[in-house]
Amino acid sequence: MNRIKTDLCIIGGGSGGLSLAAGASQMGAKVVLLEGHKMGGDCLNYGCVPSKAMISAAHHAHAQTHSAAFGIANHTPDVDYAAVKDHVAFVIAAIAPHDSVERFEGFGVNVIEEYGEFISETEVKAGDTIIEARRFVISTGSSPFVPPIDGLDSVDYHTNETIFELRETPSRLIIVGGGPIGMEMAQAHQRLGVPVTVLEGDRVLAKDDPEITAIALENIRADGVEIEEGFKVTRVTSENGVTVEAEDGRKVTGSHLLMAVGRKANIDKLNLDAAGVKYDRAVKVDDSLRTSNKKVYAIGDVAGGLQFTHKAGYDATVVIKSILFGLPSKQRTDHIPWATYTDPEIAQIGLTEAQAKKKHGRDVEVLRFKFDQNDRAHAERRTEGLIKVMVYKGKPVGASVVGMRAGELIQPYALAIANGLKISALTNMVSPYPTMTEVTKRAAGQYYAPRLFESDRVKKIVGFVQKYLP
């Protein structure tokens, strides 16, 4: 059995672990990184990267069928489903070297391609190596949660970890789960010629503002996606392919089944009890992302809370201050944006309208600006969209966007909220014309419109100045 002593041992080579490993090593720390599966984690191999590659292919197919308004004849595309998956694999392969063992060894990281398991409060075993470290960071991410449904174990089903390997075209895809993963995959498959039915036990995209999601869902339904809300699945059978039954008696039959009901933290292999690390469904951490064992931290999905690649990367910046420099460092989540890459996209940061009103009451102002007032949106014929900005005491505390490139348009508000800027910071920005980003500025401008254009006091001041100005 080999033994290694190091400054930092990172368990998990996903986005958070890789960010931390690269930063810590380049700043002089001795770093050991353990990864027993695939470098890059879920995001590269099964999540963000393959899903966006597939969505991009679906966008090109959809554009061919909706080009007549631009003077170009509509055309029904000949979709090769297997070739689309080749495209997905190509994109993954193109990005993989950025997350490779070789690249991180080039940074000076000691990469061990084994799963890590705690054997004491200060030691982890990985294969035939025992690592003793001054600090440990758990960054093992999450994996698909598959609920115990009667009959599910008797049928073939997919999760996000297997759907991108499917090469035969489904005659009808049933997706259980109407969250971001389910809705992104539903619209992408529908646009690639696969009929889709989404089954959701509650409301689809329930974490986002209902007014915002309604605009996106109108487009998704227009593409042909069938959505069954309040569909509480009780049973799955292999009848006529796959049949999914609800407690109210509804039945939906298809050829393939994708389970997209949520995520679970990857903690099973860690032997956390040996390390004295407390956990329930995820590793329990304090505001500094430190566990009950003061030598052990947890970042990203495995620590619960917001489950996004960029949140894991942010967590890495929080713990590196404490681990490398001994400085106090606490996480915050009010400045973490997220986006759902349906078409139109949905993006959110901070408080929704309902949350802001619940927290701040009548003192909240909700600014609104529709995309049909933006010239670039008209040029693109993409005028379906809305931005809502929640303002409290002159500062944005939340923003919700639906529309073309919403994931990009949310970012000025991400900057403002992260740095505690006033709404005037957005109105002072000058956007090139014509761009979609103008909607972020125009939304902010709604804060001053009543104060300037509907104020008798302002009108009196202007009248006075105009009367006496030389």
| 131 labeled part of a ligand binding site | no
| 117 labeled part of a ligand binding site | no
Distance between CA atoms of residues 301 and 12, nearest Å:
11
| 141 labeled part of a ligand binding site | yes
Q: How far apart are the first and last CA of the chain?
A: 91
| 52 labeled part of a ligand binding site | yes
Distance between CA atoms of residues 312 and 136, nearest Å:
16
Give the number of other CB atoms < 10 A from CB of residue 78: 8
Backbone angles phi, psi at 218, to 5 degrees: -60, -40
| 151 labeled part of a ligand binding site | no
| 127 labeled part of a ligand binding site | no
Strand (E) or helix (H) holding 138: strand 129-138
- Residue 193 burial (C-beta neighbours within 10 Å; 0-12, 13-18, 19+): middle
- Residue 218 burial (C-beta neighbours within 10 Å; 0-12, 13-18, 19+): exposed
Structure tokens at 319: 């713990």
| 385 labeled part of a ligand binding site | no
- Backbone CA torsion sign across 343, 349, 353, 354: positive
- Length of the chain, in residues: 470
| 305 labeled part of a ligand binding site | no
Question: Cα 416 vs. chain centroid, distance in angstroms?
Answer: 20
What are the distances in angstroms from CA 294 to CA 73, 275, 452? 64, 10, 54
| 113 labeled part of a ligand binding site | no
DSSP summary character for residue 324: H
What are the distances in angstroms from CA 283 to CA 247, 249, 301, 377, 402? 34, 38, 9, 44, 33
| Half-sphere exposure in the Cβ direction for 288 (13 Å, CA) | 17
| 14 labeled part of a ligand binding site | no
| 322 labeled part of a ligand binding site | no
Task: For residue 415, give every residue at least 6 positions away whose Cβ sits within 8 Å of its Cβ, in sequence order, or none.
Answer: 421
Among 41, 119, 10, 21, smallest CA distance to 301 is for 41
| 301 labeled part of a ligand binding site | yes
Distance between CA atoms of residues 19 and 139, nearest Å:
11
Nearest-5° angle of CA 187, CA 190, CA 195? 130
Structure tokens at 405: 């490139």
| 16 labeled part of a ligand binding site | no
| 262 labeled part of a ligand binding site | yes
Binding residues for FAD, as ranges, are 52, 116, 140-142, 301
- Known binding-site residue numbers for NAD(+): 177-184, 200, 262
What residues form the annotated binding site?
A: 52, 116, 140-142, 177-184, 200, 262, 301
